[in-house]
């Protein structure tokens, strides 16, 4: 199972399941990515996963594929 930079399993990511993933079969990695602002942000901050960031969860992750409540839970901020 591949885990994307946002922390979601690639197999259940909405972009992967609807066929719009720019890296099908590989998944998101932290790099400049016009299709994924989360990947771009992690790249700019030097993070492999956005949940390793001290700002997590943030406004950007709230717009991503992972529910904000789950983000807050894994960050220990619920």
Enumerate the domain spans of the chain.
10-74
Write 31-40 long-range contacts (CB < 8 A, 24+). Answer: 36/5, 36/6, 37/63, 38/5, 38/6, 38/64, 39/4, 39/5, 39/6
Angular region, 64: left φ>0, alpha ψ -120 to 50, beta rest: beta
Confidence check: pLDDT of 47 > 90:
yes
Confidence check: pLDDT of 66 > 80:
no
Question: Rounded distance, CA 38 to CA 33, Å?
Answer: 9
Residue range 2-15: average pLDDT?
Answer: 83
Please state whether the predicted TM-score (pTM) of the whole model is above 0.85.
no
Instruction: Round the average pLDDT of the chain to a whole number and report it.
Output: 84
């Amino acid at each position: 199972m591949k885990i994307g930079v946002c922390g979601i399993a690639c197999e259940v990511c909405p972009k992967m399941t609807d066929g719009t993933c720019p890296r099908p079969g590989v998944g998101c990695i932290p790099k400049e990515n016009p299709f994924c602002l989360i990947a771009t942000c992690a790249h700019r901050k030097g993070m492999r996963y956005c949940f390793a960031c001290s700002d997590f969860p943030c406004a950007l992750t709230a717009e991503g594929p992972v529910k904000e409540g789950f983000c807050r839970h894994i960050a220990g901020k619920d």
